């Protein structure tokens, strides 16, 4: 398989605080790659470095073999899209007008989106079964619907690499599963490389193909899900005693003390 995104020996620090260093991994087309780590482990910073929203202080990022440092801001946006973590109230834009912003990297600086761009935006919403949202007020839809709208914007951006920054934050149970399974489907259907910072190891185990575990600013473990998602790794990653539970083919991770209590 071709390599889509490769990061080599990446490091970043805020003033004198080192956030992470020596991070290396690869993301492949059509594969869902989850980054796991505790709060403050630098997951969001890493995601932001991957599309140069923050400039990494050391190391290199290669996209299809080309160094990302040689890309213009617009080229990066055509190659890498981002589903942001922040939920902000903004002007009461229509959802369609938010989705069409994904066309920005393809438009001249003073151009406004044309009919073709709106068609692409509508098509992106349709792929997520969210065409009903199109004329709603972005501020007045639920958190889950907003994430779907922003995901549609990523699709309208048509980039081969998609970064998700804690995509299921603030989402209810239903939306978490809906969003991630849609994401997984798109990733495989369209051959997109997905790199997602995630909080919940169970969701990662369910939807991701590859896992990268980050602890104390270093890669603690990485590889295909089946090899990496072990009791030992997850216990070490979250600094707690974790037990693997099996039900048919599925596995779940749960803190051992809670699991014990529930068995009593």
Partner 1 sequence: MKRPLSTRSLVLLLTAVLMVSFILSISSGRVPIQFSDMIRMASTFFQNPEDDLMSKDLVFLWIRLPRCLMAVLAGSSLAVTGAVYQALFRNPLVSPDILGVSAGCTFGAALGLVLPFNSIYSVHFLSFGFGLMAVALSMGLARVISIKPVIILVLAGMVVMSFFNALLMVVKYFSDPYDELPGIIYWVMGSLSRITWDNVLVMAPFAAAGLFLFILLGFRLNILSMGDIQARSLGMNPSFFRMILITASSFMVAVCVATCGQIAWIGLVIPHLARTLAGPEHERMIPVSALLGGIFLLLADSLARTLSSAEIPVGIITALTGAPVFAWFMFRNRSSGWI
In the complex, minimum distance from the CB of residue 64 to partner 1, in angstroms, rounded to a whole number: 18
- Closer by beta carbon to partner 1, 1 or else 90: 90
Distance of CA 115 to the CA centre of its chain: 29
Beta-strand (E) ranges in the chain? 5-14, 17-27, 32-36, 58-63, 66-67, 80-83, 161-165, 193-198, 210-215, 218-224, 242-247, 250-255
CB of 194 to partner 1, least distance (A): 15
Q: Measured from the CB atom, is 193 or 233 closer to partner 1?
A: 193
- To partner 1, the closest distance from the beta carbon of 106 in angstroms equals 9
The least distance separating partner 1 from the CB of residue 156, rounded to whole angstroms, comes to 10
Give the nearest distance from C-beta 180 to partner 1 in angstroms: 20
CA angle 26, 48, 193 (to 5 degrees): 35
Nearest to 105, CA basis, from 127, 72, 152? 72
Report, in Å, the least distance between residue 197 CB and partner 1.
14
Nearest to 42, CA basis, from 79, 68, 17: 17
The residues binding partner 1 (CB under 8 A) are 48, 51-53, 73-74, 76-78, 80-82, 84, 86, 88-94, 97-98, 101-102, 104-105, 107, 109-113, 135-137, 139-140, 157
Q: Is 201 within 8 Å of 235 (Cβ atoms)? A: no
The first and second tokens of residue 4, run together, are 């889509």
Tokens standing for 17? 């605080």
- Considering the complex, state which of residue 40 and residue 246 has its C-beta at the smaller distance from partner 1: 40
State which residue, 60 or 136, has the beta carbon closest to partner 1: 136
Taking the least distance from each CB to partner 1, the nearer of 32 and 138 is 138
DSSP conformation class of 165 = E
| Residue listed under structure tokens 């709208």 | 149
Q: Compare residues 2 and 89 and give the one whose CB is closer to partner 1.
A: 89
In our burial notation (b when 16+ CB lie closer than 10 A, e otherwise), range 49-73 reads bbbebbebeebebbbeeeebeebee
C-beta of 179 vs 213, nearer to partner 1:
179
Shortest distance, position 236 Cβ to partner 1, whole Å: 31
Place of tokens 């920005």: 104
């Amino acid at each position: 398989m071709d390599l889509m995104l490769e990061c080599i020996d990446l490091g970043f620090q805020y003033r004198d605080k080192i956030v992470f260093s020596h991070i290396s991994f690869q993301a492949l087309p059509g594969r869902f790659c989850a980054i796991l780590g505790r709060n403050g482990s630098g997951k969001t910073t890493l995601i932001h470095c991957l599309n140069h929203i923050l400039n990494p202080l050391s190391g290199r990022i290669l996209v299809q073999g080309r160094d990302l440092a040689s890309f213009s801001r617009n080229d990066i946006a055509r190659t890498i899209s981002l589903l942001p973590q922040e939920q902000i109230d903004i002007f009461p834009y229509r959802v369609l007008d938010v989705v069409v912003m994904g066309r920005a990297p393809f438009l001249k600086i003073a151009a406004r989106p044309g009919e073709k761009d709106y068609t692409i935006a509508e098509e992106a919403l349709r792929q997520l079964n969210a065409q009903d949202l199109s004329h709603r007020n972005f501020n007045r839809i639920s958190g889950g619907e907003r994430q779907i709208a922003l995901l549609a914007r990523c699709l309208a951006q048509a980039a081969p690499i998609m970064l998700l920054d804690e995509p299921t934050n603030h989402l209810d149970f239903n939306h978490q599963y809906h969003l991630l399974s849609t994401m997984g489907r798109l990733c495989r259907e369209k051959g997109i490389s997905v790199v997602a910072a995630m909080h919940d190891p169970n969701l990662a185990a369910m939807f991701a193909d590859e896992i990268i575990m980050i602890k104390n600013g270093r890669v603690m473990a990485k590889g295909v899900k089946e090899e990496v998602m072990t009791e030992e790794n997850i216990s070490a990653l979250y600094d707690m005693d974790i037990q693997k539970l099996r039900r048919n083919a599925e596995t779940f991770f749960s803190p051992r003390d809670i699991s014990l209590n529930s068995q009593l």
